[in-house]
Structure 1
């Protein structure tokens, strides 16, 4: 801890970020926190100025996912704060540690309805782990350290701190707080013995990995456990990277448009080992995979937050533990002398390979699955970021994620996440290949952040899959109201020209054979790039077309 020194609030605040090990900040500048911005000028912190607060917040939460320590975002008062709410919601669903600092009106104006005043506790209380407002410069070290602790401890998530403008100009003599470190939570020996007993009695076990907090060490430890027990392992929705997709025990991702064979395998398992995840709606197939509140399967639920265990599913065995510590403790769990489910594990792997290799043709001159196969071969170690939309089904089904940081997608189903996530990943991993997959509607939710990538020379590649629709919405319209689409058609720009207009590299692809040459040129360009892939509007998912959905819905109605 440093000795007290007289500083203004902005300087104290930035010094706390340095003390907490912060290397990067994402922001939209605002007059409400000028003192903090000024202090950043002299701090060893890399500042990324963004084009809209939602993008800045998404970059920060992505850093939190990738590093395990809170990503930091600064925004100005009410309009800036409400724009950033998009990122807070993703961080809450994704269990990603982040801290959002919001400029606030001066203290003596609070409660008067001042210009751009908001009650941030009321606005963000349901989505953040902690919402607070600093009332004096002397409180800053204490509040910031607590924010880091809360964001990381238990189930990670977002914290919001409001910064009254005059407080940041106030001077105080106060020491810096020590660096916050999340407390590891180890499982009990009795719980691990009970787990071993349950597995020895099992005939059809399966493990599902999910949630936040995964590390390379944790994934490696769980892989050793899976090998010793010869157990099939699935990834939860958009968390497949917690287990190596090329491992012989990997059985696929359970999420949207999941492999029916994997779904059936989990439904008929006798023991399910759920580590780190919550099995919320998308992963749990609309909360049908496990009966609520008492699953038919013997559920072993491992989670860092005791309030998540039993929240929806009453487990046969609940273990409060952080994922890395639980995985380390698995070294002491011994397999039975006779593993009776090995054949099931081999079949689970075969089912996954068939599902991820044998792609049905989609309408049109561009086969999206072939593009995924080509990318998988060309840049297998890239970080892959996605937003939301039906295009993500191809990504999650046909790519192979070999480590936890390779799959960046919002479990909240939030559109517009992919491009900011790719930028955040490029900041954390300079020099690494970063590929963003976007739909046309998805991309333009935060497409202005392409300018941020150009400004900082981040050579991300956006594979933009354009069918001229809000495709997921059109799919649901055809199911519920066949033949009556509304508000889901889009008029799009030339996205390759868009990239060039910002100073990046642009390519247009209208047939499968043209994709890899265009992708190679994007790789060689060394600049932010968009590969604009125009596909048939009928190509909604790898296995289903719009017309098939509509015809099936009309047939059901005619039959009723």
Structure 2
């Protein structure tokens, strides 16, 4: 026996490594394949174990927690169906550049490659959607693997790591030396590159910044907003990165992606200098790589990203800068260049966004979500966390809500359904003193509606705004455009439950809202209560977005 090192089970060693890395919360659906870990957690009150109802909810909660903290969100699931259920959340973390670690309890080492009970080749299964996927076969190497997992999940472009942990390995009693906490790796920006950026700004007539994404932080948002406002540079948020800077910043210009302000899109087209900071410039942000093309003729692109592998991967960068987002934004904020003339475009763009984000009532619409969002804006503080999954319903909040500094938006850039409620549960636990609102469509909500049980078990305080049009609305929109008057497979019919009773079944409160005028009173009553609250808002499928009706889509088709 090595002097000074006690013998421990693999499960105990693993939990001790989580403690060493500063983990304070994990999300799980228990499995017999990692009972040794659960046993070790019994004696580790420093780690809050959140027991969920389905592994999809587990992974989404871990992703949301990683987004909010900047540290890896931690999830534990069992093999086979548990791992496959969680794979959607791993894909979200990959596309959203979220630090996350998924531990998968696996079958015993001696039974591998026999198609044992629930067996899957975990490394091969997760390889396409994880930064790193590995199997730990020796309990003595658990500290090494866990430390590496934290490093990989947070370094460069953050993302998910998947570690398979065989059940018999977790029961082994061995000696293992603990690893110290893995410190963040910060790539300092090159002052020469920053000086070159300021020279490009001096030559520019119409610059614009696109921000948010990998390694973004409240620190980065604060400093970048200062820099952009001081020099009058319009700041556009990448798709679903609307909290990258406080929307109160006087040069904030709105979000790119689905349903953006056409005036903002034109500003991007007309820009002679584009400064992309943190964003990958993916398909959604660039409207299918057309708003800003990979070769961007006639435009100069400064691309700043924490991962050198992303620079030049799709977009040709005239000035690529690999740097930590917080360090880069702070250097910009502190850089002094008296020769740079302030642009007037930033404040003009902000005014255009204010006009665009001010809801105007529409005639002949019983339930108009725009004014409803306006009511919420008037009554909720700037630190409210808005959580949503995928669907056209989210467009009203993307357009009309004013987001405060990060983290105030939890929404998957990957466009997955069912994300909003698990994210809201995670947010209500991480920030119990802040209002948390889940915005969901009827189809979207029922993909993880069971996580209301998790919310109830933890006495979580959250509000659900459930937008019900009886359809898979986004798919119906595309269907009406491509195959008008041939509705197939997109109607939910009478299959939806009584959502008010659904909330009440979990000990919550709910009410049905059928008109715009009734929304404010219902919202006030909800906010006067605690716990789970749900507003079931009935909307017309014809009013598919805040700018489009199905009738218009049919006419275009």
TM over 0.5: yes
Moved more, 411-420 or 205-214: 205-214
Change (3 A) 1:3 1:538: farther
Q: Give, in angstroms, the shift of residue 227 of structure 1.
A: 2.1
Deviation per CA, 1:325-345, whole angstroms, max 9, x where unpaired?
Answer: 110111343345362631x22
The aligned residue for residue 277 of structure 1 is: 279
Q: Which residues in structure 2 correspond to 1:532-551 (within 5 Å)?
A: 532-551=536-555
Provide the residue aligned with 2:21 in structure 1: 20
Structure 1: which 5+ runs fail to align? 554-560
Residues 410, 199 of structure 1: CA spacing in aligned structure 2 closer, same or farther, 3 A cutoff?
same
Secondary structure in structure 1 of the residue aligned to 2:313: coil
CA distance in structure 2 between the aligned counterparts of 1:420 and 1:362, rounded to whole angstroms: 35
Q: Is the 8 A contact 2:214 2:305 kept in 1?
A: no
Q: Where in structure 2 are the equivalents of 1:252-267 lying within 5 Å?
A: 252-267=254-269
1:148-297 correspondence to structure 2 within 5 Å: 148-297=150-299
CA–CA separation in structure 2 for the residues paired with 1:293 and 1:81: 39
Q: Which residue of 2 aligns with 1:370?
A: 371
Cα distance, 1:174 vs. partner?
A: 1.2
Give the drift of 1:294.
4.4
Q: CA RMSD in A?
A: 1.4
1:506 is displaced (CA, Å) by: 1.0
Q: Does 1:505 align with 2:506?
A: no
Give the SS at the match of 1:55.
helix
What secondary structure sits across from 1:405 in the alignment? coil
| Preserved CA contact (<8 Å) 1:65 1:97 | yes
Deviation at residue 431 of structure 1 after TM alignment? 2.2
**Residue 35 of structure 2 corresponds to residue 34 of structure 1:** yes
Shift of the alpha carbon at 1:552?
2.1
For residue 449 of structure 2, what is the aligned residue in structure 1? 447
Distance 2:517 2:311 in 1: 49
1:129 to 1:295, Cα distance in 2 relative to 1, 3 A: farther
Matched, 1:346 2:350: no
**1:392-446 CA deviation, whole Å, 9 max, x = no partner?**
1101000011212101100000000000000111111122110010000000010
Partner of 1:401: 403
**Structure 1 338/46 Cα, relative in aligned 2: closer, same or farther at 3 Å?**
closer
- Show the counterpart of 2:82: 80
Alignment match, 2:105 = 103
Q: Is the 8 A contact 1:138 1:172 kept in 2?
A: yes
| C-alpha separation in 2, matches of 1:436 and 1:525 | 16
The match for 2:473 among 471, 474, 478 is 471
Displacement, 1:142?
Answer: 0.7
Task: Give the superposition deviation at 1:55.
Answer: 0.4
Distance across 2 between alignment mates of 1:26 and 1:96: 16
1:353/1:335 CA distance change after superposition, 3 Å? farther
Asked if structure 2 preserves the Cα contact closer than 8 Å seen for 1:362 and 1:539, the reply is no
Structure 2 counterpart of 1:526 = 530
Deviation at 1:536, TM superposition (A): 1.2
Equivalent residue for 1:558? Answer: none
Contact 2:140 2:176 in 1 (8 A): yes
Question: How far off is 1:537 after superposition?
Answer: 1.5
C-alpha deviation, 1:376, in angstroms? 1.1
CA distance in 1, matches of 2:203, 2:413: 34
Contact 1:228/1:335 (8 A) holds in 2: no
Q: State how far apart, in whole Å, the 2-side matches of 1:423 and 1:286 are.
A: 32
How far did residue 466 of structure 1 move? Answer: 0.5
Q: Are the structure 2 counterparts of residues 363 and 101 from structure 1 closer, same or farther at C-alpha, using a change threshold of 3 Å? A: farther
Between the aligned partners of 1:195 and 1:282, the Cα distance in structure 2 is 26
Q: Deviations over 1:230-285 (max 9, x none)?
A: 11111110001011111211111111111111011011101111100101011001
Native 8 Å contact 1:53 1:80 kept in 2: yes
Runs of 4+ in 1 over 6 A off after TM superposition: none
- TM-score normalised by the chain length of structure 2: 0.97
Aligned length: 551
Structure-1-length-normalised TM-score = 0.96
Distance 1:357 1:3 in 2: 66
Deviation of the 1:215 alpha carbon: 2.2
Aligned mates of 1:513, 1:78 — CA distance in 2: 49
